[in-house]
Amino acid sequence: MAALAIAAFAGASQVLDTYSMNVLVRSLLYAVVALTVDILWGYLGILTFGQSTFFGIGAYAAGLVFMHLGFSPGTAALALVAGIVIAVVVAAVVAWLAFWHGASELYASVITLVLPIVATQVIFSGGTWTGSSSGLSGFETFDLSIEAWFVLAGSLLAVATAAAWVVMASDAGRLIVAIRENEQRCKYLGIGTARLKSLAFLVSAAIAAIAGYVFAGYAAVVAPELVGFVFGTELVIWVALGGRGTLLGPVIGTVLVDYESAQLSGDYPFVWKLIIGLVFVAVIVALPRGFLPILGDGLKRLGRLAGLGRTTTARTATIVAAARRTAAAAADDSPAIRIRGVAKHFGSLPVLRGIDFEARAGELVSLVGPNGAGKTTLMRCIADGSERSGGTIEIGGVSIGRLPPERCVALGIGRKFQMANVFDSLTVAECLQIARTRIDRPSLVRRSTELALPGPAARVVATTGLDQRLATPARLLSHGQKQALELAMVLALEPKVLLLDEPTAGLSKAERMLIGGILTDLATQERLCILLVEHDLDFVREISSRVVVLHQGRLVLDGTVEEVVGSETVKQIYAGAGHHGAPAEAAR
């Protein structure tokens, strides 16, 4: 398709007039930058206003080098490399600020909004060297005909769009959608989302810089507007108009709007901005998803009316057994998890104090206690090294230190959340494939049709009937099936220590029994160490090998089910808390 598009551009260059081609070269290069905005915003959820700056960096690299060092094949190569390197370095700084552990989604938008303002000021303060507010012009550049520039710009756009298309249709594209939809779940599946978002940001910056370099070579003029915040915002508007998250929409939207703007500014010099503004407002109000999705829906409807409905079956993956990995230190009898003096406080409020306990492979330890005892907080401290205020936690003898969740997963922790936490828009098979990302590296160019699952995950999928629903979007599953899917996703990580926060909440009796059977098998047969927060004490009694009782942030009892159920302390705690379903009641 890219080759066809390039051939079409070559054909068009023979029939279009010079004026149209002049305008279209600029529009096509702007569309390349809009494509990068679409990937960052439409696919990854990073609303960026700063792509203009990377375009401007590429353009100014060419302008400055050609102006001050003259034009030659050597300086042309130098300018291209310099533009890309500077854009990538600036993007790396922005990405570090925007995506570091703990940064909110708003950071990226605010920082990319500030970036063009800072870049414009830098150009203004460059004096005659940067041309200040007038920019640089009159430098020698490539001696190409307008037809050649048109085909070059069109080819760049065709290649960039095709590459984006291939990536978005690959395993990596599915991962990008998962990060946008549920970044927290991705992190707890061991996926370094900040690193991946930074990588996408750097690649987008480099592509924008290349487009800027070609623009400067063609126009032989660079101006501060190219790096500015107005252009950065226009790119976002063009993407919204075309239909973000559609690749072709933003490309077509940018070319149409920029080309039409050029026409209107010639025909109606005093009111053209008003006309464009009104069209923007009308489209955003009437078509919030942009042009292309509406056009696509209309074409599908027409196709159905004409009896051309497609009868393709949804592509689904086949489950295969994951290659067995040699279990490190399998013979070692050291605790799977060791917790020493763990404390957590929120401001001056202590929530956990001096928690000490250990659990070994094959144990199923239930954490019980009244509401607010600190059970979920303890789970959080185990799964994220930055959560606790004091103490140490070791997994398989290795301290988690201050590691973020994705690095804790690499040490062998798998966490299932209280509310089923899956990727609603992805199918069951895709959710499980995302869960395997850390182990089975996703391809950048193809979509895998195999779903490699380790034995425990495959058994959960089979016993809960999820294997019959692999092509079903997760949002259409029942509550119980979602819980089972999340459990299978966590097991797909091949963890050593499994953290489960109320896995039976909201499940029917039959579903509870099913999950209970699965968990005991996982502990006894697969030798997993399972820590379970649970309120249903009948369930706890049936499946646990040990029970740990938390009360007001302290560990008050650690013993067998019988010891805990018969304990006076526990009866008093629950009687005091007025907790429904206390061990005392359960013991009766």
Ligand X SMILES: Nc1ncnc2c1ncn2[C@@H]1O[C@H](COP(=O)(O)OP(=O)(O)OP(=O)(O)O)[C@@H](O)[C@H]1O
Residues found near ligand X in the complex (CB under 6 A): 346, 349, 351, 369, 371-377
- Measured from the CB atom, the residue of 406 and 502 that comes closer to ligand X is 502
Partner residues linked to 559 by β-bridges:
547
Minimum distance, C-beta of residue 377 to ligand X, in the bound complex (Å): 3
Q: How large is the greatest C-alpha to C-alpha distance in the chain, in angstroms?
A: 93
- Measured from the CB atom, the residue of 448 and 552 that comes closer to ligand X is 552
Residue 445 structure tokens: 């160019």
Minimum distance, C-beta of residue 351 to ligand X, in the bound complex (Å): 4
- Measured from the CB atom, the residue of 141 and 376 that comes closer to ligand X is 376
- Measured from the CB atom, the residue of 222 and 342 that comes closer to ligand X is 342
Minimum distance, C-beta of residue 9 to ligand X, in the bound complex (Å): 56
Cβ atoms of 529 and 362 within 8 Å: the answer is yes
Instruction: For the chain, state the CA radius of gyration.
Output: 29
d(CA 68, CA 61): 11
Minimum distance, C-beta of residue 512 to ligand X, in the bound complex (Å): 17
Minimum distance, C-beta of residue 552 to ligand X, in the bound complex (Å): 9
- Measured from the CB atom, the residue of 270 and 346 that comes closer to ligand X is 346
Minimum distance, C-beta of residue 540 to ligand X, in the bound complex (Å): 13
Q: In what order do the strands lie in the sheet with 390-395?
A: 349-359, 337-346, 390-395, 398-399
Minimum distance, C-beta of residue 347 to ligand X, in the bound complex (Å): 7
Q: Of 54, 40, 48, 46, which Cα lies nearest the Cα of 90?
A: 54
Q: Where are the beta strands (DSSP E) in 98-226?
A: 136-137, 221-222
Q: Which amino acid is at 291?
A: F
Q: Of 472, 539, 543, 458, which Cα lies nearest the Cα of 505?
A: 539
CA 126, distance to chain mean position in Å, is 38
Minimum distance, C-beta of residue 424 to ligand X, in the bound complex (Å): 23
- Measured from the CB atom, the residue of 172 and 373 that comes closer to ligand X is 373
- Measured from the CB atom, the residue of 123 and 533 that comes closer to ligand X is 533
Backbone angles phi, psi at 291, to 5 degrees: -65, -50
DSSP letters of 451-506?
EEE-HHHHHHHHHTTGGGGTTSBGGGS-HHHHHHHHHHHHHTT--SEEEEESTTTT
- Measured from the CB atom, the residue of 174 and 512 that comes closer to ligand X is 512
Minimum distance, C-beta of residue 373 to ligand X, in the bound complex (Å): 4
- Measured from the CB atom, the residue of 26 and 375 that comes closer to ligand X is 375
Task: Using CA atoms of 418, 424, 429, 435 in order, give the dihedral in degrees to the nearest 10.
Answer: -50
* Cβ contacts of 119-122, under 8 Å, gap ≥ 24: 119/53, 119/56, 119/57, 119/227, 119/228, 120/224, 120/227, 120/228, 120/229
Minimum distance, C-beta of residue 322 to ligand X, in the bound complex (Å): 33
- Ramachandran assignment for 190, one of left (phi > 0), alpha (psi -120 to 50 degrees), beta (any other): left
- Measured from the CB atom, the residue of 56 and 369 that comes closer to ligand X is 369
